[in-house]
């Protein structure tokens, strides 16, 4: 590098050529003056040091995620309170960590034996991610981004996990309206990554070898990589090296080899092992067909789309553990995206090997956590111990992809199993009545609005004769939502859910935990005049109905704020659908103000199943099926600008849920509730059957 030779023309004793960007050649150039044996010894020692670094960084990440002493300032809006939630779940057994170590043991030994950079890349990715987790300011986040850029500058494929992490952080910041610590972290890490790439690819090499020489080497590197990827036979000029060797368990090669093996065994085509011999490795195989390549590309795009969807779900929850799980999955997905991913690079499985079981254990999915840990270990050991057979049919590449899909789905749908377990535990929890009215406020990351909301509620109800309580249901928030009621007095309390499950789940938990004779729920920004709550309360208290539904389309309803045209159109369309499928009377099912007598709330919410925004339609439909008397009350809309319902993300799932409501409760008849709800209103006020 410094003596004028082109690093891309120099080969090692094996005959392999340098294929990385110029920076790494500059870093190891001082070793060129030593004997090749000493070069190997020094690099071996450096790799051992990096391997120890992988262990220490994994341990630090584990401690940060689970330590009760995690600073709130560091974790705010980024799983600030997730660690205490984890400690309430069953403790993670030590064998999970031993299995994670066993998973990467043979790849790490292979990496040491071949003098490869897989251990270095793993260490840098873990170090960078730990810096992201612990960043408290935009400057520490900037430094974390610069660290994350280094593995990308050494070997380009780590751009996948680094890019996914930056997208997650930016999405979480956008969902929080670009306010708070999450925004500083997202901007700092993203900008730091760009700055780091400029430093590692342009500035530092130019200072070391000159701008023109660096530009020449970059051009050579891009040309060589492009030629290798576009080589139709998947071969390179390196001695005894082929993309389709059994020692390359990437998804691309695994599919290629399995297809050729299946064609040979079941269709009688030529021997699939011809490509393992140097003399016949140019033979045309069945999987050389262009349709196979296009199908594989579609599969890779699907796997990437699945990861992006999981990243979006983690960003919505703003959960550090979910973010860590997606980041580790992105490290593993490199094996499916890169056409060459030899066995020693599976040391990059280390983050996912323990973070995914940790994530599943946190959700009380203990069997899935154990299965993932055991399967990962079994796959790598099978590949190395049974290489001739396992490499021939692509066991490691295909098994890793299946493992990745199962793990990613567990991140996408974390609350489904837990939600049902919480529901089953919550239903017997019906406390005795000890006051008149419980007002429920479902909240997810609402610290910015809750203080004013709670103050308004206290000022209003303190002037009434109602013995009231306010219960905030913290739906797995990652900010200070859970602590907002601490200084509001004994009438204000918080019920906290361990993970974000949706508004419907939050309201259901609050209803079943409420101790008021009448229960009401409304939104965290109090969009309706508080006098509407009193009106519904009086109707139920005097026996005129068992449920009161707010309505924005009744005579007497007023709107003191303007609504966006797109939202008005979407609301009108949704109302037409619910009028046909749910109720011809309650056409404004999505009005966020509803009140119930205790018996009606128990009958309805013990049967509700929807966790999302469409839960209101299920409440109305159950009221209809159970023949519970109700009244509609006109409401005054005083605030609509803070709605969290997204027309792009929520409307289609809501429509699907409406159909589910009709299907799930189609056999429910009113007689099932005869002993649960006291009927005290004339039949004309009921929903039409």
CATH of the domain at 497: 3.90.550.10
Q: How many domains does the chain have?
A: 2
Q: Quick check: is 11 in a domain?
A: no
Boundary residue ending a domain (413, 447, 472): 413
Residues 467 and 410: their CA atoms lie apart, in Å, by 44
pLDDT at residue 236, as a whole number: 45
Angle at 226 between CA 326 and CA 112, to 5 degrees: 60
CA distances from 299 to 40, 307, 394, 405 (A): 39, 13, 16, 12
Measured distance CA(86)–CA(499) in Å, rounded? 10
Distance in angstroms (rounded) separating the CA atoms of residues 283 and 272 = 10
| 9, part of any domain | no
Tokens 């707010």 -> residue: 550
For residues 338 and 440, membership in a common domain is answered with no
Residue 4 lies in a domain: no
Residues 393 and 443 in one domain: no
Task: Using the 3D structure, point to which of 353, 378, 413 is the last residue of a domain.
Answer: 413
Report pLDDT for 21.
87
Residues 154, 63: one domain? yes
Residue with token string 């109305």: 620
What's the length of the chain? 689
Residue of 646, 414, 615, 654 whose CA lies nearest to 503: 615
Same domain as 594, residue 508 = yes
SS (H, E, C) 374-424: HHHHHHHHHHHHCHHHHHHHCHHHHHHHHHHHHHHHHHHCCHHHHHHHHHH
Asked if residue 464 and residue 403 are part of one domain, the reply reads: no
Q: Specify if 422 maps to a domain.
A: no
Q: Are residues 342 and 446 in the same domain?
A: no
Question: Are 446 and 375 in a shared domain?
Answer: no
| pLDDT at residue 334, rounded to an integer | 93
Helix segments in 427-548, DSSP class H? 447-461, 503-513, 530-541
The rounded distance, in Å, linking the Cα atoms of 78 and 73 is: 10
For 90, counting Cβ atoms within 10 Å of its Cβ (0-12 exposed, 13-18 middle, 19+ buried), the class is exposed
Residue 3 in any domain: the answer is no
Q: Are residues 402 and 548 in the same domain?
A: no
Give this prediction's pTM: 0.64
Does residue 192 lie within any of the structural domains?
A: yes
174 falls within a domain: yes
Q: Could you say which of 381, 413, 445 is where a domain stops?
A: 413
Closest-CA residue to 349 (of 102, 60, 162, 65): 102
Cα distance between residue 351 and residue 606, in whole Å? 40
Residue 597 region by backbone torsions, left for phi larger than 0, else alpha for psi between -120 and 50, else beta: beta
Residues 6+ apart with CB under 8 A from 385: none
DSSP track, 491-503: TEEEEEESS---H
Same domain, 355 and 449: no
Tell me the residue range of the domain where 557 lies: 432-685
Q: Is 301 helix (H, G, I), strand (E, B) or coil?
A: helix
Return the closest-CA partner of residue 357 out of 95, 82, 69: 95
Q: Are residues 365 and 400 in the same domain?
A: yes
Mean pLDDT by 10 residues, the chain (689 residues): 65 69 85 83 94 94 70 37 38 84 95 92 96 90 95 92 94 77 88 95 91 87 71 44 84 93 90 79 84 92 94 81 92 91 93 92 85 96 94 94 93 55 39 82 88 91 91 87 86 88 87 91 90 93 91 80 62 68 75 90 86 81 87 83 51 68 60 42 30
Task: Kindly state whether residues 527 and 676 are assigned to the same domain.
Answer: yes
Look at phi and psi of residue 115 and say left if phi exceeds 0, alpha if psi is from -120 to 50, else beta: left
Tell whether 143 and 289 lie within a shared domain. Answer: yes
How far, in Å, are 385, 466, 524 from residue 592 at the CA level? 61, 21, 10
Residue 99 domain-assigned (yes or no): yes
Per-residue model confidence (pLDDT) at position 663: 61
Burial of 33 (0-12, 13-18, 19+ CB in 10 A): exposed
């Amino acid at each position: 590098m410094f003596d004028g030779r082109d690093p891309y023309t120099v080969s090692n004793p094996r005959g392999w050529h340098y294929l990385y960007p110029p920076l790494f050649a500059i870093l190891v150039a001082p070793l060129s003056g030593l004997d090749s044996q000493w070069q190997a010894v020094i690099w071996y020692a450096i790799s051992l040091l990096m391997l120890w670094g992988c262990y220490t960084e994994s341990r630090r990440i584990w401690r940060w995620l689970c330590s009760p002493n995690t600073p709130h300032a560091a974790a705010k809006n980024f799983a600030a309170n997730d660690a205490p939630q984890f400690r309430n779940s069953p403790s993670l057994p030590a064998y999970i960590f031993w299995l994670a170590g066993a998973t990467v043991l043979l790849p790490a030994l292979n990496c040491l034996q071949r003098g490869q950079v897989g251990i270095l890349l793993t260490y840098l990715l873990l170090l960078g991610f730990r810096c992201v987790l612990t960043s408290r300011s935009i400057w520490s986040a900037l430094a974390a981004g610069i660290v994350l850029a280094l593995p990308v500058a050494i070997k380009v494929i780590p751009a996948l996990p680094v890019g996914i992490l930056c997208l997650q952080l930016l999405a979480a910041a956008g969902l929080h309206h670009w306010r708070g610590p999450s925004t500083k972290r997202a901007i700092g890490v993203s900008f730091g990554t760009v700055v780091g790439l400029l430093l590692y690819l342009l500035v530092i090499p130019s200072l070391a070898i000159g701008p023109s020489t660096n530009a020449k080497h970059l051009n050579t590197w891009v040309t060589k990589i492009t030629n290798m990827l576009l080589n139709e036979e998947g071969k390179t000029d390196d001695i005894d090296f082929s993309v389709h060797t059994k020692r390359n368990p990437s998804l691309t090669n695994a599919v290629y080899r399995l297809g050729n093996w299946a064609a040979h065994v079941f269709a009688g085509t030529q021997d699939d092992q011809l490509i393992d011999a140097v003399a016949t490795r140019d033979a045309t195989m069945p999987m050389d067909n262009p349709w196979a390549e296009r199908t594989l590309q579609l599969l890779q795009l699907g796997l990437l789309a699945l990861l992006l969807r999981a990243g979006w779900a983690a960003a919505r929850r703003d959960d550090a553990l979910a973010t860590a799980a997606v980041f580790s999955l992105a490290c593993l997905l490199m094996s499916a995206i890169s056409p060459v991913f030899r066995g020693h690079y599976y040391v990059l499985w280390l983050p996912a090997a323990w973070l995914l079981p940790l994530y599943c254990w946190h959700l009380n999915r203990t069997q899935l956590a154990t299965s993932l840990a055991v399967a990962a270990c079994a796959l790598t050991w099978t590949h190395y111990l049974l290489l001739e057979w396992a490499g021939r049919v692509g066991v490691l590449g295909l098994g890793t992809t299946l493992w990745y899909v199962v793990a990613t789905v567990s991140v996408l749908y974390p609350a489904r199993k837990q939600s049902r377990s919480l529901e089953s535990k919550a239903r017997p929890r019906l406390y005795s009545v000890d006051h008149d009215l419980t007002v429920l406020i479902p909240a997810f990351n609402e610290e910015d609005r809750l203080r004013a909301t709670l103050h308004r509620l206290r000022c209003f109800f303190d002037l009434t004769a109602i013995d009231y309580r306010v219960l905030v249901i913290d739906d797995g928030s990652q900010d200070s939502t859970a602590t907002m009621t601490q200084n509001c007095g004994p009438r204000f309390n918080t019920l906290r859910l361990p993970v974000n499950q949706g508004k419907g789940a939050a309201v259901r938990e609050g209803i079943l935990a409420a101790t008021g004779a009448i229960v009401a729920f409304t939104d965290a920004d109090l969009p309706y005049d508080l006098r509407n709550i009193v009106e519904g309360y009086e109707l139920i208290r005097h026996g005129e109905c068992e449920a009161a539904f707010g309505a924005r389309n009744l005579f007497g309803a007023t709107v003191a704020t303007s609504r966006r045209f797109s939202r008005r159109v979407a609301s009108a369309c949704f109302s037409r659908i619910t009028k046909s499928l749910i109720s011809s009377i309650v056409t404004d099912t999505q009005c966020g103000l509803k009140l119930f007598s205790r018996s009606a709330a128990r009958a309805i919410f013990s049967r509700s199943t929807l966790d999302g925004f469409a839960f209101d339609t299920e409440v109305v439909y159950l009221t209809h099926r159970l023949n519970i008397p109700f009244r509609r009350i006109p409401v005054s809309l005083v605030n609509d600008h803070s709605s969290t319902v997204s027309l792009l993300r929520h409307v289609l799932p809501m429509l699907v849920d409406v159909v589910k409501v009709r299907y799930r409760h189609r056999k429910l008849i009113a007689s099932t509730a005869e002993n649960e709800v006291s009927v005290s209103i004339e039949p004309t006020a009921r929903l039409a059957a």
